[in-house]
Chain A
Amino acid sequence: KQEVTQIPAALSVPEGENLVLNCSFTDSAIYNLQWFRQDPGKGLTSLLLIQSSQREQTSGRLNASLDKSSGRSTLYIAASQPGDSATYLCAVLNTGNQFYFGTGTSLTVIP
């Protein structure tokens, strides 16, 4: 069974800092990895999707990398803003069409 871990569970940074969120998974036989953002009381919003054959994806201030062989992904957020405060979750898609989620990193950006 796929296990997805996100470290740290919570992170607090001053505005303007660059930061990295980590995601690790135990089974490297994945189709893709997806990063989501969840605001309190809301659903999940997709941020970036990395296919298993890709090494990274970028969208604006966000950059996600994938090292499938080592079972790791990172989400890099540049020049953080208070509006980036949310919980960030990663999810991997395994064979069998099942997605497995990490428990998330709660990010607070202090003005």
Chain B
Amino acid sequence: DAGITQSPRHKVTETGTPVTLRCHQTENHRYMYWYRQDPGHGLRLIHYSYGVKDTDKGEVSDGYSVSRSKTEDFLLTLESATSSQTSVYFCAIGSEQRGAVADTQYFGPGTRLTVL
């Protein structure tokens, strides 16, 4: 299995508080992704990174920010959590088999976030 860990695995927080989720990889892959998974919507991309300090928005980026200061770590921050951000968050890494294009994705175990 690809070496991807997420922390915390479960978190309950209150509306308006900041929350940071961490994704750590041991594979030295350039691409890292944050998704949220909700019933009826499948997985939706929040942000992704294609290198240290290189990030871009996905389709549901509002209310989220990311940072990547090291290859192995990709942080997702909810600046002021809202109930609509209650979800399961998955981190993924992309192997690069064909140059500048992320190819196969490998997923972490997920973080279940509840915002009360």
What is the interface of chain A, defined by CB distance below 8 A to chain B? Answer: 1, 4, 31-32, 34, 36, 41-46, 49, 89, 91, 93, 97-104
A34:B104 contact, CB within 8 angstroms: yes
Instruction: List chain A residues, Cβ under 8 A from B104.
Output: 34, 46, 49
Tell me if B48 counts as interface (CB < 8 A to partner A).
yes
Name the interface residues of B4-52: CB closer than 8 Å to any CB of A: 31, 33, 35, 40-45, 48, 50
Instruction: Scan B92-109; emit 1 where CB is below 8 A from any A CB, else 0.
Output: 101000100111111111
B48:A98 contact, CB within 8 angstroms: yes
Query: CA A73 – CA B81 in complex, angstroms?
Result: 38
Tell me if B58 counts as interface (CB < 8 A to partner A).
yes
B40:A43 contact, CB within 8 angstroms: no
- Identity of the chain B residue whose Cβ is nearest the Cβ of A46 in the assembled complex: B104
How many chain-B residues does the 8 Å CB contact rule pick out? 27
Tell me if B62 counts as interface (CB < 8 A to partner A).
no
B110:A102 contact, CB within 8 angstroms: no
A102: min CB distance to chain B, Å: 6
Instruction: List chain A residues, Cβ under 8 A from B45.
Output: 98-100
Q: List 8 A-B contacts (CB under 8 A).
A: A31-B98, A36-B107, A91-B105, A93-B101, A97-B31, A101-B35, A101-B43, A104-B42
Instruction: List chain B residues, Cβ under 8 A from A99.
Output: 33, 45, 102, 105
B103:A44 contact, CB within 8 angstroms: no
Instruction: List chain B residues, Cβ under 8 A from A32.
Output: 103
Tell me if B74 counts as interface (CB < 8 A to partner A).
no
Query: CA A43 – CA B107 in complex, angstroms?
Result: 6
| Known contacts A31-B101, A46-B105, A93-B101: A103-B110 contact under CB 8 Å | no
Instruction: List chain A residues, Cβ under 8 A from B107.
Output: 36, 43-45
